[in-house]
Each structure stands twice: as structure tokens, then as C-alpha cells.
Chains A and B, each alone.
Chain A
């Protein structure tokens, strides 16, 4: 704990120094990477991580049932999602919604990148943060839904394809769209406004 606090103080001091001196590249790298690592190490194994995992599993469960794919969640294992596999009479199989599936890493990374991105006003930054995090969460649920559908109809053999290739690919494409609207479009707008003012 003391080590974490020490690292946080050093990080904050260094980031503030670089920000004040307008060393934009080192500032942005130190601020975003440091923030992400500090939040992840603080959240790892805590109730926050478990809560996000169980909420993600719960929402994936609700959505998949809405699409007619039977899934189950046990109260004693809230992050574990049971999926009915209908191929080869396998029966129920389990998806463990861990840190990889919860989207925690991606959301923290996104938040860090936006939080320390220079040139955005507070209101615009806050709005983009809310929209971006919400969109990342929804996209992650969609990714889980894809994995569940693959597992349900394709069986356990397709789990690698579903998890690492298709699910990740779809997640990636949609998240890049979010990054485009949050970072690139916002930057274009801010730069255009400034150039037109001068």
C-alpha cells in the first residue's frame, strides 16, 4: 500500500512537472501509462474488479437470453456464465468473465488517454468520457454475446476462434470507431475552431 502511494505521488509530481513545462509527449506518456498502471494495480483483486466482472456477466446473460440463447449465472459465482452448448450434446459449459472479458483494461486505458488529452474543455471532456466508457462497455457486452453465440452453436472447439479472433476483431473495429469519434473528431473540431479564430 505504501509502495503504491509512493509511486502515485512520484507519478503525479512528474506528470505535473511535464505538463507545466509543456513537454507534451513525455507528459502524455507518463500521465496515461502511469494512471493506467496505478488504477489497474489498485483495482486488481478488489471488489471493484469483481463487481465489474459480475455486472458484465449479468448483462451478457440478460442480452443472450433476449436473443434466445440459454445462459445461467450462479449466485455463488457471479462472474461465471454458464452457456448451453447444443452441438454434440455437450450440455452446459462455463465462461469465466475475468479481467480479460470485463473490459476493465480497455476502459481504464481509454479513460487515461482521454483524461490527460490536452486541448479539450471540461464539459466536452466529461461528455466524451461518459459516452466513450458507456460505448466501450456496450461493445464488450456485444463481444461476449458473439462468444456465447459461437459457443452455443459451435461448441467448445470454436472457443479460440470466437474469443481471440472474431470477438476480439469485432470489439477492436467498434472500439476504433469510438476512438475516432472521441479523439480524432474532437481534435479536428478543436483545431478547426482554433484555426478559424486566428
Chain B
């Protein structure tokens, strides 16, 4: 009887909480499938691309890993423009520039454009010192008056001369072969119109406390699972959701066609551009793709605080709603939410967030319906166990995806599967705040953390200048 009543709570009432789990479970299984079965499809696609360029696939590496080198070496090195939008980035800019200076891609085939929009710190000094110390590298500084990351990126794009354009955030450092790997993908894959690099979170030198240490491990695992393994799956089905603002690359002609580039209509200029570009490039070439090049690796700083994490996720969620709203024709009709990846993501992140909110709080009150507290607690524990099992699937997918050094790291953080459900649950609330902000606040509402939000709300809400968070996901 106890078991039946527990299962009843678990399935009958808990379904509203279980379904997000099911969505995650499907994602985890899709990731696992994309690692094993998807490998064949991907190699077939690569071989077809290479045929078009007269090259052949490098044999041997059957397993699809993050660092696999399947393409032949580059035979020519077209000019690449790297654009770095800057707004008060003095603390991190040098690291970004240094990572560009040591690229394996030839220096004389690279130009770096730093676009500053209204910095008040010493970032120009940082730039100037770097320029002086690297005379062989073409580095330019463009100050602009107009605020916003989108304006900075567009100014850089219009000033660029490269065949390929790379956008790199001022707080991101690239792996030394990142530019080479990115350009190699473009050169041997004519269908590739734009690509995002794989973003990993670097471990901080010194953790302020145990809580932040755990938070950073959760964040690093999430990036690995969602942005590297997950984006590879999205690439496989040619439905990449976001060309990460942290590190993305474009074929010049694909980007400049139609001449509308980044815009400030939404708080997620990178996702907006991805949606716009997807619609646009297919007119030019119906089989054009936008993918994640997982051999081109960029490293982002870990989030500095829980408040910053709140701010970041609120902005991402708000951006998701705004971008999808502007492309809502894709979700038209009864099958709309299921037909496209953006629709399915919105269904999971937005639609299901509402019942999940109310049932999270109502579940403990089921004793009002005659269920004993023991039954309710047992059902909640069973739900947690189910969530842990899904994390195990994500963990396995990530483990089979990465190479040995990262596998060793994953082995050392096996306990993460017990913590991740709580991390994701926290993220859920942050995203819910983003959902509410998207409909309740003016477009340029400042996505500051809670304490700043409180301060900002005191007199009246004024459209303040959006905080420039250059970290991308």
C-alpha cells in the first residue's frame, strides 16, 4: 500500500517535476547516441565536404572525440580577422591577446581588431603594451561612441579585410591551435557558413571557498556537457542554437550578405545572429550548415559569484525568449513547438517552467489530500534519485567524448552526479527570473544581480544601459 501510494505521488502528482527530467534524459540519450551512431553520419558528411575540395578524410581515428584530427593539414592560409569587442576589459584583455599571439596559424595571415565602446578603465594601455611587444602582429584599436556589444562587433566587421571573421570575447583565451582548427574546418568544408568554437571553463588558480569550488566544478561540467557534447549533437542535426559570443567564426561572404549583422534588438545578440544567419545562408546555399567546431577550443573564466551566475542565466533566458519571439513564425501551428530545436528548447525551458514552479511547492502539501509525509518524502527522494541517474548518463556521454586528460579530471569529480541536480534546480530558478523579466521589464532592463536589482528598482524602472557581460555560452 505504501509503495502504491508513493508511486502515485511520484507519477501522478510528481509528473510535473518529472517531465523536465524526461527532457534532460532525452538530451542525455541523444548525446550518447550522437557519440556512437552519429560518428558514422558525421564522417560521411565530412567525406562529402572534402570531395568537393578534392581532399580526403584522414583515416584511422574512428572514435569521435573532441580533439580528433580528421581533416588534412591546411595548404593555404587565408587572411583571418579576429574582432575583440571591449568594454572595460583591462583585467582580461592581455590574456586574450597573448593567446592570439601564440597561435599556430601564421601571424602574417591574421589581423586583430579591438573595438572599444566606451571603456573607462586602462584597457587601451593594455592594448598599447601588447602592440608594442608584438610588432609582427597586425593589431588595431577602434574606439566607437555607440554603446553595446553588437555595435562594437559590427564596427569590427565593417573594418575587417579577412576571408574569415572571428569574434572573440575580451575575457576568453584561445587554445594555441584554435584559429588553425577553425580555419581548417572552413577551408575543407565549403558548406560550413559559420561555426562556434568549443567553450571550456578554466579552473581558477585559487578558490575563495568550498562553495565556490563546488559551483565552479558544476559550471565546468555543465559547459562540457551542454556546450561541447550538446552542441556537437546540435551540429549533427544542423540546428545549432547559438554561435557563442565567446568564440565564433564566419565565412565573410556569408556574414556580409544582406548586410544586416549583429543587432541590439535582443539581449542575446549571438543567438539572434545565429537565427538570422540560419535563415539567410540557406537562400545562398540550401545545404549550408552552422556548426560547432569542437577541435577549436576557447577557455572562459569561471563565474565569479552566485550573483553573477544569476545575472548571466537571467540574460540567457531573456535572450532566448526575445530571439524566439522575433522568429516565432518557426513555431507556428500545432506542431510548432516540436518541429524545430528552438521550439523544443523553448517548450522545455519556458512552457514546463510554469507547472514546475507550482508543483515544486505544492508537492509537500499533498498531505492535505491524505498522503502521509513519509509517502511524500519517499517520492521526493525517488525523484532526486531519478535526476541523479540522468546525470550519470550525461557524465557517461561526457566521459566518452573527451580525451584522456579530461577523462582523468572527470574521474576525479565523479561525485558531481550527486550535486548536479541541485545545481540545475538552482539554474531553473534563475532562468525563471529571466522568463518573467522578458515580459515584465523594458528591453534594456539591467540584468544585474539581485542586490543591484533591488537598488535599481527603488525609484522607478529606467531603461539603464545593459551590463556588458562578455562571457558567452
- Residues of chain A touching chain B, judged by Cβ–Cβ distance below 8 Å, are 21-25, 28-29, 32-33, 36-37, 40-41, 44, 99-100, 105, 109, 112-113, 117-120, 160, 163-165, 168-169, 172, 175-177, 179-180, 183-185, 187-192, 194-195, 198
Binary contact readout B107-134 vs A (1 if CB under 8 angstroms, 0 otherwise): 0000000000000000000000000000
Residues of A within 8 A of B392 (CB): none
Q: Is the CB of A180 within 8 A of B443?
A: no
B330 to chain A, nearest CB (A): 10
Q: Is the CB of B325 within 8 A of A189?
A: yes
What's the Cα separation between A140 and B435 when bound, in Å? 28
What's the Cα separation between A119 and B355 when bound, in Å? 18
B441 within 8 A of A: yes
A22-B457, A113-B355, A180-B337 given; name 5 further pairs at CB < 8 Å. A23-B453, A28-B357, A100-B369, A192-B325, A195-B322
Known: A100-B12, A187-B439, A188-B331. A24 touches B433 (CB 8 A): yes
Interface CB pairs A-B, < 8 A, 14: A23-B454, A28-B436, A29-B361, A32-B357, A40-B365, A44-B368, A105-B362, A109-B359, A113-B355, A119-B440, A164-B12, A176-B19, A191-B439, A195-B266
What's the Cα separation between A33 and B354 when bound, in Å? 11
B56 within 8 A of A: no
Residues of A within 8 A of B441 (CB): 22, 24
Residues of B within 8 A of A99 (CB): 369
A39 to chain B, nearest CB (A): 12
B461 to chain A, nearest CB (A): 6
What's the Cα separation between A21 and B361 when bound, in Å? 23
Q: Is the CB of A113 within 8 A of B362?
A: no
- Residues of chain B touching chain A, judged by Cβ–Cβ distance below 8 Å, are 4, 7-8, 11-12, 15-16, 19, 265-266, 321-322, 324-326, 328, 331, 334, 337, 346-347, 350-352, 354-355, 357-359, 361-362, 365, 368-369, 429, 432-433, 435-443, 453-454, 457-458, 461
What DSSP secondary structure best describes chain A's contact surface? helix
What DSSP secondary structure best describes chain B's contact surface? helix
State which of A29, A120, A164 has its C-beta within 8 Å of the C-beta of B8.
Answer: A164
A113 to B, closest residue via Cβ: B354
